[in-house]
Structure formats: structure tokens, C-alpha cells
Amino acid sequence: MEYLAAAAFIALNQEDVTLDELSQYGIKVTKILEDSHISAVILCSEHYALEMVRNFSDCFDLIKDDTTLHLKVEKNILIARFLAYMSKDLLSAFTQQKVK
């Protein structure tokens, strides 16, 4: 969930992302991975969002009746903490660029 959220904040270039937007983003990422013959399960739900906020409260916060994620850090911190060590294929999918 935290990898998906980090990538969504960067790709969508927003400070707030609704859980619905995050879910739709996760569906797109899953489709890109499937099209690239990479098996993946992305766990994206309110439960996992709450868990992520508890585990990474220095980066994310839930606002608007727990329906919207708010980014609490600079995007370069998300890159260093969550995306820097992803494989090229996964990073391409999470940043919405087609894997060749």
C-alpha cells in the first residue's frame, strides 16, 4: 500500500489523494503489470490505508473523514524511502509507464 501511495502522489502530482483515486490508480498499475506478464496483488482498501498511516505517520495522514490521504513530506523523500529500490519493471508500472 505504501509503495502504491508514494507512486500515486508522485504520478498524480497532488498533495491529497482520495482512497477512491488510489484504488483506481492501483487498478491501472495492476493492469500494466498483467500486460507485462508480471503477477502482482496490490492490497488497496481502507483497512490497509489505516495501517499504512499508522506505520508511516511521518509521511501520510488521513483527512476528510478518513477518505483522503494527505502527504506530509516532500516527494523526494517518498522516492528515497519507497521507490528507489524497486525493480525497473515495477517502477515503470508504478509510475504508469509501459514496460517494454
- Per-residue model confidence as pLDDT tens digits over 56-66: 999 999 998 88
Query: Could you give the CA distance from residue 92 to residue 70 in angstroms, rounded to a whole number?
Result: 24
Query: Which pLDDT does position 77 carry in this prediction?
Result: 95
Specify the pLDDT at position 97. Answer: 54
CB 77 within 8 A of CB 56: no
Condensed to tens digits (0 to 9), the pLDDT of residues 2-16 reads: 999 999 999 889 999
User: Which stretches of the chain score pLDDT less than 70?
Assistant: 97-100
- What values do phi and psi take at 21, rounded to 5? -60, -40
Enter the pTM of the model: 0.86
Nearest to 11 by CA among 69, 91, 77, 81: 91
Cell readout for 13 is 502530482
